[in-house]
A and B are shown apart, each in its own frame.
Chain A
């Protein structure tokens, strides 16, 4: 064993887990693929330009003390460390500076966060089409905004937030095209009483809507049949509102349909996952302490289920308490006592979630694209090809992968996996849970062969026990 606890990911969950573990005397190590702590939500917060920090607002600045506390804590942190394998005995292999290193601890917390739900629609592979989150990352890490007309399309709090931030930064926001169907508002109303107990979130939403209206941004709701036009790059977004065809010229189209847990690591470790019909995503099954079905392997933050950055701090602290308890550094009582304020925080942040999940439930058509739409961006496999394979007798994503290479490209199914599962479920009239997901294998990302060869040499040079 090289450590008591390995934390994978350096966002709010990873930082909180590491800080809590260190405070209990655990030898913790953080492996973060990014060059600086903060994850995507607080990306570059420690070094961002003051103008950028100001325009991104208080929620972004909240990450600064977190990052600073990690830096002061003395916790061992490896940035630029790409975890590409975790064995069933929790041995972690990571690539750093061209070399693969191995670490081992009895407890492992994955804090790998979320990624944006794919929005497979015609033209979504064109240059100039990015995820809305990508535009925010450009502001955070590069102090940059798209230079021409920007159209944002999809649904979710992040879509409106990015639109407001781009406006604030001086971008030409040429339109916001929301795809949430009308029924969402009706269904969301049921959850309004609970949401009213989280007034800060609601107030923020209303502020964003006022800001967009005041700026006179063309704003469409209940849009469908979205398609990006262009030959070598995006030129316009076509869509349909109430049977009326519309078109907005755009140099940059930003897509967003919410975020889903990044389950690559939990899939690699073959732990139990459940299909969540509310969030339309896979959730690794975890107990009240973040413990998965594999002893010692815990998941915290949005990687377990989408609850936001503040909830991630709480769930990660709870997971770290669980780890310390498992290592006999905490009694039952101490663990439960320390977890209490964190559970209160979790409950508080959870109040808004049913309202947001209902209001921004993605339209069903986003998960069942037209036949000619590309689903697998890497191998350029269309929805029609997936359906064809279902008709030919494929019963799951691993068979369609075998026959069509769908999901076999460098992203290893991160972009297409959730759509392929839903397409097959629809075509075969089964539930996503029955269809299942891609079998994920190491390496989690392509790594140079030399780094693997190197690792073998090191291992063979270790003295025999």
Chain B
């Protein structure tokens, strides 16, 4: 969905894991930009209706870019830096408590 501007100095490429799939991102990007750059869409499906959502404000006020990162739930992906080896999972509808009968 997003691509680097032509003529901008190249940055080191890092690899992240999104729902078991490897994606490439540029070092220094926020996680939201990394997902947008890799064409990940949607970022999540909503808890209420399962509707698709992705980054909307990129400044930390809309909470539409929420993803799970290394086991932490509902992280604002526009507010954290993408790091090599990050394990991202995309929320699919309402959360479930695992292991609860």
Give the interface of A toward B (CB within 8 A).
33, 35, 40, 49, 51-52, 55, 115-116, 125-131, 133-134, 137-139, 141-148, 169-170, 232-233, 251-252, 262, 377-380, 409-411, 414-415, 445-446
Contact = CB atoms under 8 A, between A and B. Distances in A.
Contacts of A143: 4-5, 8
9 contacts: A138-B2, A139-B5, A142-B2, A146-B2, A262-B61, A377-B53, A379-B48, A411-B61, A415-B61
Residue from B5, B36, B57 having most chain A Cβ neighbours under 10 A:
B5
A142 B37 CA distance: 10
A144 B60 contact: no
Contacts of A233: 41-42, 52, 54
B7 interface: yes
A262 B60 CA distance: 12
B16 interface: no
A116 B57 contact: yes
Given A125-B56, A128-B41, A169-B5, 6 more contacts: A52-B5, A133-B59, A134-B57, A144-B3, A411-B61, A411-B63
Interface residues of B, number: 39
A116 to B, nearest CB: 7
Contacts of B68: none
A128 to B, nearest CB: 7
B46 interface: yes
Contacts of A446: 74
Given A51-B7, A377-B62, A127 B57 contact: no
B39 to A, nearest CB: 8
B67 interface: no
Contact of B58 (A49, A128, A138, A251): A138
A127 B42 CA distance: 6
Lowest 10 A-B CB distances belong to which pairs? A127-B54, A134-B58, A142-B33, A410-B63, A143-B8, A147-B3, A411-B63, A137-B58, A380-B48, A144-B2
B52 A144 contact: no
B89 interface: no
Nearest to B37: A144
B55 interface: yes
Given A49-B8, A410-B66, A232 B52 contact: yes
A118 to B, nearest CB: 9
A144 B5 contact: yes
Contact of B53 (A127, A131, A134): A127
Contacts, number: 122
Given A33-B79, A142-B2, A251-B1, A130 B61 contact: no
Given A142-B37, A144-B36, A144-B37, A129 B74 contact: no
Q: Which secondary structure dominates chain A's binding surface?
A: loop
Nearest to B11: A143
Contacts of A147: 1-3
Contacts of B64: 125, 377
A127 B2 contact: no
Nearest to A39: B59
Nearest to A232: B52
A414 B61 contact: yes
Contacts of A125: 51, 53, 56, 64
Nearest to A148: B1
A33 B60 contact: yes
Nearest to A230: B52
B23 to A, nearest CB: 15
A446 B26 CA distance: 28
Contacts of B41: 127-128, 232-233
Interface in B7-35: 7-9, 26, 29-30, 33
Contacts of B30: 141-142
A409 B7 CA distance: 41
Given A380-B46, A410-B63, A410-B66, A145 B58 contact: no
A128 B79 CA distance: 19
B52 A138 contact: no
Contacts of A131: 56-58
Given A129-B56, A130-B55, A170-B6, A142 B63 contact: no
